[in-house]
Amino acid sequence: MSNKKELIYSYLAGFIDADGSITITIERSKRKTKTGEKLQEQYCVKLSAHNCKIEPIQMLSEEFGGGKIRFKKTGKAKNHDNWRPCYEWMITKNKAALAIKLLLPFLLIKKKQAELCLQLDKIKKTHSASKRRWNPELNEKINNQFVLLKSEVNLLNKRGQ
């Protein structure tokens, strides 16, 4: 890795430590089956950042691609006329895992969340969804690991921790 890339990744890691989020989410979707619809849940790695300045958000988008940059005023900000709206950037799944892997050596505050997310990604790549679909015992074991990893990340991301 070049010195310039290291400098960029260290800056972006610091930005994620301060104004970002590294977490595990559940994406739910409906799948049609012969007997009707079945709700599917997929555990995914998610990396996001919010800020009132667009420059660091654009840097994340240029470096790691993905996510739309949204300009919005939500949450507590929508009830306060003098609060500025912020920019939001987000990536999930493989893009997020790759970005986290590149940022990991430079993360300080959210390093543990990053490690847990990469652990989830490794398990998913080791045990494909189709392999788990036909092996209910393996599927239950893997899903229990996903639930545990998600709860650990949620605990670390809890305010005041």
Domain boundaries, the chain: 3-157
Q: What is the pLDDT of residues 44-83, one digit of tens each?
A: 999 999 888 889 999 999 999 876 677 665 555 566 667 7
Cα gap 90→100, rounded to integer Å: 12
Statement: residue 101 has pLDDT above 60: yes
**pTM for the predicted model, two decimal places:** 0.85
Query: Per-residue confidence at 161, pLDDT binned at 50, 70, 90?
Result: low
Cα gap 96→133, rounded to integer Å: 24
Q: What is the fold of 3-157? A: Endonuclease I-creI (3.10.28)
The arrangement of strands across the sheet holding 70-72 comes to 20-33, 36-51, 86-92, 70-72
Which helix (H) or strand (E) segment holds residue 30: the answer is strand 20-33
Range 101-115 average pLDDT: 97
Q: Which residue has the higher pLDDT, 159 or 45?
A: 45
Average pLDDT, the chain: 88
Name the phi and psi angles at 27, rounded to 5.
-100, 125
Query: What's the pLDDT at 89?
Result: 92
Query: What's the pLDDT at 133?
Result: 82
